[in-house]
Amino acid sequence: MILVEELPLTLKAVLFDFNGVIINDESLHQQLLEEILLQENLRFAAQEFDQVCLGRSDRACLTALLESRGRVATPAYLQKLLHQKSQAYQQRLATMEKLPIYPGVADLVYKCRVAKLHLGVVSGAMRREVETVLERIELRSVFTVIVAGDDILASKPDPAGYLLAAEQLRRLDPDLGPQNCLAIEDTLVGMAAAKAAGMQVVGVANTYPYHFVQRHSNWAVDYLWEVELERIQAAYSIRS
Task: Report domain extents, the chain.
Answer: 2-24+100-236, 26-94
Averaged pLDDT for residues 163-175:
95
Averaged pLDDT for residues 17-34:
95
Angle ∠(21,16,190) on CA atoms, nearest 5: 75
Confidence at 4, pLDDT banded by 50, 70, 90: very low
In b/e form, how buried is each residue of 90-100, taking b as 16+ CB within 10 angstroms? eeebeeeeeee
CA distance 111 to 9: 20
- pLDDT, position 189: 96
- CATH code for the domain defined by 26-94: 1.10.150
Averaged pLDDT for residues 198-217:
96
Return the CATH number of 2-24+100-236, one of 3.40.30.10, 3.40.50.1000, 3.90.1150.10, 1.10.1740.10.
3.40.50.1000
Residue 103 clears pLDDT 70, i.e. is over it:
yes
Residue 240 clears pLDDT 70, i.e. is over it:
no
Residue 137 clears pLDDT 60, i.e. is over it:
yes
Give me the chain's average pLDDT, please: 92
- pLDDT, position 102: 97
Give CA separation, 143 vs 13, 27, 161, in Å: 10, 25, 15
Residue 156 clears pLDDT 90, i.e. is over it:
yes
Kind plus residue range of the DSSP H or E element containing 220:
strand 219-221
Compute φ and ψ for 212, nearest 5 degrees.
Answer: -65, -50
pTM, 2 dp: 0.92
- pLDDT, position 6: 45
- pLDDT, position 238: 67
